[in-house]
Amino acid sequence: MFSHNGKISVSQVKILLILQMFNTGILLLPKTAAHIVGREGYVLPIIALVFGVAYVYGIVGLTEHFKGETLVEFTPKIVPKGIAFIIIWAFAIKLIITAGLELRMFAEMISRVMLPKTPLAVILLSMLLVSAYLVKSGIEATARMAEVLIYFIFIPLIIVILFIVFKADYKQLMPFFQVQPLAIGKGAFLISLSFMPIEFMLMLTGLMEKPEKAKRATLVALVIMSVIEVIVILVTFVGIGVEESKRQLWPVITLMQSAQFLGAFVENQEILMMTCWVFSIFMYVSSGIYFVSLIGSRVCQFKRENVFVLPIIPLLFFVAMLPRNLAQVYLYYMNFQYYMGVWFLLPIPLILLIITRIKKVGGKYE
């Protein structure tokens, strides 16, 4: 049985953030990088790290003024309650839309690769109900589950990457330094949006046993994720080629299908690797459900934090089913990330942080 103390450790925060960032966007990452800067796309996550560090300092710099509090508690202390109400619920709505689109991308991926005859609605509801079951046990249960799943996610991925590295065509990366700096800057910003789960720290910092270590934990997770993104893009380019990465919607899956090291034993070997993203997206959707439920419970001042878990399920299902086809969900997903993804990563936390320091609200961790 899980205890319900509602607090998680620093190491659990790192693992949660890594798994949350390792979502559907990773499957699209090589395609995005190849379209923007071509064969040098593997450089983008390194430069995107600069944007990521800015996001961390804006978000955690804000939360460290309010020990043990979440966005729901500290926002009304910074701005008028009406504005605070809008910010809080805008964040909740954003989480619902993001999780819903992630869920639909996941369902499309599973339908095309693993379960072609299974209706999308069945795949969506299965993931939602399993996620809801985990979330009802609280954030501590979710964090402990993440500690277990991280091995099932990254060990198979490491095996495949090591196999591809020795068989890859590294001529795909030549010639070097052929891209304009402006294109690299724009591409780095777009890639930095894959760090969007950092915004969970607006809620997660207040649930940490040692919130004074939130900044370090987030930065460690960010650096690890940047390294993973560089490796994924690099291996995809040398494994299937830059042009093929542009053409494929999910080039990473194509890469998995091209690695025939298990061909003699398993017919559809990419299914084994698909478990990486099934588990990762499971953690992302679970976190989205939990934090929206937590926002609702704390706004309404309920003692239980899982009151809104089941009512959120139909909302996520509606968002996930709204796009008519794969092309439309891809368009919605990319546009929402580009136009709405950054707001709670930097502008809103930074504005709140500036007001906090001007008004001298809250304290500072020792």
| Domain annotation for the chain: domains and CATH numbers | 10-359 (1.20.1740.10)
Q: Mean of the pLDDT values across residues 202-208?
A: 92
pLDDT of residue 265 exceeding 60: no
- Higher pLDDT: 158 or 89? It is 89
Q: Two tokens at 302?
A: 């309920």
Q: Mean of the pLDDT values across residues 37-54?
A: 88
Q: Which residues contact 246 (CB under 8 A, 6 or more apart)?
A: 31, 34, 35
Contact 106, 286 (CB under 8 A): no
pLDDT at 100: 93
pLDDT of residue 259 exceeding 70: no
Q: pLDDT band at 218, cuts 50/70/90?
A: very high
Residue 244 CA, distance from chain mean position: 25
pLDDT in tens, 322-338: 998 888 988 898 888 88
Contact 245, 31 (CB under 8 A): yes
pLDDT at 168: 65
Task: Name the least confident of 23-27, 176-180, 198-202, 238-242.
Answer: 176-180
pLDDT of residue 4 exceeding 70: no
Q: Mean of the pLDDT values across residues 248-254?
A: 79
Distance CA 280, CA 131 (A): 12
Percentage of residues in the chain having pLDDT higher than 70: 89
Q: pLDDT band at 260, cuts 50/70/90?
A: low
Distance CA 314, CA 149 (A): 26
Distance CA 261, CA 185 (A): 37
Percentage of residues in the chain having pLDDT higher than 90: 42
3-class secondary structure per residue, 96-143 = HHHHHHHHHHHHHHHHHHCCCCCCHHHHHHHHHHHHHHHHCCCHHHHH
pLDDT of residue 128 exceeding 60: yes
Q: Mean of the pLDDT values across residues 242-265?
A: 71
Residue with tokens 């930097």: 346
pLDDT of residue 143 exceeding 80: yes
Q: pLDDT band at 349, cuts 50/70/90?
A: very high
Q: Which residues contact 105 (CB under 8 A, 6 or more apart)?
A: 24, 329, 330, 333
Q: Two tokens at 176?
A: 């070097």
Distance CA 36, CA 43 (A): 11
Q: pLDDT band at 181, cuts 50/70/90?
A: confident
DSSP-assigned letter for residue 195: G
Q: pLDDT band at 178, cuts 50/70/90?
A: low
Question: Could you count the other beta carbons within 10 Å of the beta carbon of residue 72?
Answer: 23
Q: What is the mean pLDDT of the chain?
A: 85
